[in-house]
Structure 1
């Protein structure tokens, strides 16, 4: 077992991972706003009191806040969290008002809001495309090479030579898809469709649960069927094919994230598995200790999650704004300000509650509660 990196390295790795991702996210909003002629009053990395900053010739204040857990772009006319202007907006001269966020057509506002998450997903696609080009992609056929006695696969009657065609109706093309599907579904019953000797058979099995520890001592609960593949097939990927491979890999990761989120909501997966900044910092330090490729891979995963989470239709997030814009497009008028205000209050309460949960989980993951219990005992 490798000793986990210390706090300084974890903090450094966290800043090296999250800082650029937040900058890129906010730069997406900023550049889209510039494209449509919206004045940006502030571009901040971090929240709270300004540590250092500079104002450019366009009147935009570029600054760092003391709390490095996010960032924001404040556009002219974006007066409150619900992006509703107040009386001061109406008092602006016509030329100045035309450069505000709220003066722009609905479709332009939607693009400005969506540009942040979009650029995070694009970055992830590019990183994963690079990995595909450098290392190739696993195209090992979904043909069973070995069956471990006593494991779920053996109990379900799977045999070497069987080709897995589908799991729960989802088509399977490569063996890695079987492993990925089982990985996040420990203990769940699934239906496999297999091809054997010219016949198509159906088998039902309960995915096994395996408790593992990585080299840093982190514990994981994962799913295993108890089968192995045949001869591995690693296919090279050219530069032209690489972007498509990056898109497929990104889509697979988002699909897995949606499945995991559904498990948490339905109670099939513990909410204790949710992590926040402290756990991200810990993992960042560990991946940095493993080398540049592992750390860059983590950055791609974080970029996907940052883009995905911000697209959720939750008030206070970009997806919440886009949800209200969709309603506005259907109704041909925006929701009443008081409705949006209450929705954003509810969204803020939900976000704060989630932050409390993940912070509690993070402190548990680093052993704080166990050490306190030892001191009290």
Structure 2
């Protein structure tokens, strides 16, 4: 099956590449003698009016043979104007450039085919607003965003796309709130993302999420009405007085007007299962229960009247032996401060830690109403990425449990097609930039040449992605197509980029380079190409050997 995927990928990409040369040659009137996909014995031959179409047994290459005066075949007088050399320089440039261009543009169609398959989308409804972000105080949970700068949107993905492309630029949002339309002006903050190969990307963020917090409660005081009623942190409330509860907002509304009246609260409590599945997984099962909650009278908030708040800032798990465990942080503790600064959400807590990941931080928390603190350092792991660069990773071992309730999906409609095309263009651009920067980093010596991959690596990748499904195979085909197109543009004789280099000299000198010079350059280019292929093949063999050794070690262990 892997061989079939590999043959299919090579055949399609080679066909697309040669089709670019073929179509442009035909458009400019160049006589095309042969259009061949594959090498070796011909398994299919079709004779057209003037072109022979062939399919070779080995799908590892292809060619478009045009009528050229420099070749051995005689050229009839009536065909002299139809030779490749007889064309204007700009036409020859387009004919040569068309092959790599097709390989670079073809992924737009492939990515579009993947993205357009997504028919259900999250609506542009605000589920949660993160503290200390631009949306705080301007957008509220439940807001439905209808337009951005006059552009109508129907999905949260469209909103994210527009916001990401406008960091630091004011956006005018048309919002449906409380049965009326309101206009909200907000400026997305700039977020810097560090990517491999020293690529830096800056995007805009509002600090909103499309899903609403689930009604998971946290209880920090042992003398609170909730604790006395038998409720505990991380209980998931399902009903209050027979009223179904789906989100945290539902829970707040159900208890808003309660001033001292006892009400039954139905909940599900996660109970850890030790050595679940024979020790293969950490699991918890829900245990149902009912508590008689009697909030205190008064007009204070839910935390003051009942001792209930959302469990977002409560620690759910702390691995033994971790820095957080050694600092005396335990499950059930409620985070309150980082380095003396109050935090109001787990997202703010982690943002402050990862803003200076290599420095110690003083954490303050509440346990059974008592204030405690300790110093922690994020766990650091240095690793070599696939490009030979040493990169650090930082980990916070303590985790919370704050499940979200997604909004009902909506159909994308016509907007889904536009969004799929825009995402396809973005994805193609990102891959092109990544590959070009990778080539530059290899030239600079910042990335090892051992990262080059050859046909064995392509074979492995295509087989792995093909086994996952059609969309993964198409995704891999798109990336490899862009690789093929950009590599063909390298200024190495025998590649399309080498021909473009000859044309550049021709434009400067006002005459073609001598045939002998082109032949010597082509021979040198061929030697360079063979050398690069040898390095890539050596890297492939070493990677495969490392995999085999790893498998032997696993079997021996």
Q: Which moved more, 1:260-269 or 1:9-18?
A: 260-269
- SS of 2:491's equivalent in the other structure is coil
- SS of 1:98's equivalent in the other structure is helix
**Residue 109 of structure 1 aligns with which residue?**
92
**Residue 83 of structure 2 aligns with which residue?**
100
- SS of 1:366's equivalent in the other structure is helix
**Residue 135 of structure 2 aligns with which residue?**
none
Asked if the contact 2:387/2:451 (under 8 Å) is kept, the reply is no
Q: Which has the higher strand share?
A: 2
Matches within 5 A, 1:189-208: none
Matches within 5 A, 1:165-176: 165=192, 172-173=202-203
- SS of 2:61's equivalent in the other structure is strand
Structure 1 pair 243/60, CA: closer, same or farther in 2 (3 Å)? same
Residues 1:61 and 2:61 are matched in the alignment: no
Q: Partners of 1:29 and 1:106 in 2: how far apart?
A: 15
**Residue 17 of structure 2 aligns with which residue?**
25
Q: Partners of 2:442 and 2:539 in 1: how far apart?
A: 14
Aligned partner (choices 354, 359, 383) of residue 210 of structure 1: 383
Structure 1 pair 63/368, CA: closer, same or farther in 2 (3 Å)? farther
**Residue 124 of structure 1 aligns with which residue?**
107
Q: Partners of 2:416 and 2:63 in 1: how far apart?
A: 37
Structure 1 pair 368/63, CA: closer, same or farther in 2 (3 Å)? farther
**How many angstroms does 1:45 deviate by?**
1.4
**Residue 431 of structure 2 aligns with which residue?**
253
**1 or 2 for the larger relative contact order (CA 8 Å, sep ≥6)?**
1
Asked if the contact 1:288/1:295 (under 8 Å) is kept, the reply is yes
**How many angstroms does 1:76 deviate by?**
1.1
Q: Which has the higher helix share?
A: 1
Asked if the contact 1:209/1:221 (under 8 Å) is kept, the reply is no
Q: Partners of 1:205 and 1:312 in 2: how far apart?
A: 40
Runs of 5+ unmatched residues, structure 1: 1-8, 80-84, 143-161, 176-195, 197-202, 213-217
**How many angstroms does 1:259 deviate by?**
1.8
Output the aligned Cα RMSD: 3.8
**Residue 502 of structure 2 aligns with which residue?**
324
- SS of 1:54's equivalent in the other structure is strand
Structure of greater Rg:
2
Asked if the contact 1:117/1:307 (under 8 Å) is kept, the reply is yes
Runs of 5+ unmatched residues, structure 2: 122-156, 165-188, 206-347, 349-354, 359-379, 397-403, 553-557
Q: Partners of 2:356 and 2:454 in 1: how far apart?
A: 36
Alignment size in residue pairs: 304
